[in-house]
Amino acid sequence: MAALQSKNCAGETNSKKRRRMHKSLRLSTRHNEAVTSYLLGAITASLDLHYIDKDDIVSACKTYYETVRRSFRYTQPENSMRAEAAKNSARSRARRKRLQESRQSVLADEEVELWMSATVDLMSDEEDGVVGGVSGWIVPPSFRRPDLSELCVKLQSRLEATPKYKAMHSRHCP
């Protein structure tokens, strides 16, 4: 509820959630619809929460149902490998996203245009060791453009020269 309240207080709309709501039709079981209707009625009847958009409530319910359904599926023995793969994939993507954001923080003005083509998927997949006495991200994606790879190497060396980055990543240094 706090998330819904803060979202509406800020006056923002989230079209991604609404698109997701429409894609979640498979979760429209009789039980889920009954629970959603009950919550919708209770929230709209509340004096404190009358301003919350009905679509946001339905979207929140559908997101919750998806979470419960996914959690249940992943607890099934036949899906344990899929659950582990999803967890590893999410961890790897988060690591690549942090790497992209770190590298972006040391961009020079003349590098911005080339960097615009850099996506999370084009970041290195692993931080796995030391090459030439330099630790860091040394497994570039084979499909990344050579000029972008060169820029990533430059940005990484700038990052490693930054005291704040070096302190946070000291475990990777020899």
Q: What is the mean pLDDT of the chain?
A: 75
Last residue of a domain, one of 45, 75, 105: 75
What pLDDT sits at residue 27? Answer: 58
What pLDDT sits at residue 73? Answer: 85
Based on the fold, state whether residues 105 and 153 are members of the same structural domain. Answer: yes
Q: Which residue has the tokens 């475990």?
A: 171
Please give the average per-residue pLDDT across 141-170, as a whole number. 82
Pairing of strands 129-131, 134-136: antiparallel
Does 160 fall in a domain? yes
Please give the average per-residue pLDDT across 53-66, as a whole number. 83
Does 135 fall in a domain? yes
Does 113 fall in a domain? yes
> What residue spans of 24-143 are helical by DSSP H?
30-45, 54-75, 80-104, 112-115
Based on the fold, state whether residues 113 and 55 are members of the same structural domain. Answer: no
Report pTM: 0.53
Based on the fold, state whether residues 137 and 70 are members of the same structural domain. Answer: no
Last residue of a domain, one of 30, 48, 75: 75
Q: Percent of the chain scored above 90 by pLDDT?
A: 10
pLDDT greater at residue 14 or residue 139:
139
Please give the average per-residue pLDDT across 136-165, as a whole number. 80
Indicate the number of domains in the chain.
Answer: 2
Domain that holds residue 161: 92-172
Show the tokens assigned to 110: 């003349």
Residue 26 has pLDDT above 60, yes or no: no
Amino acid at 38: Y
Based on the fold, state whether residues 97 and 71 are members of the same structural domain. Answer: no
Does 126 fall in a domain? yes
Based on the fold, state whether residues 15 and 70 are members of the same structural domain. Answer: yes
Does 145 fall in a domain? yes
Does 96 fall in a domain? yes
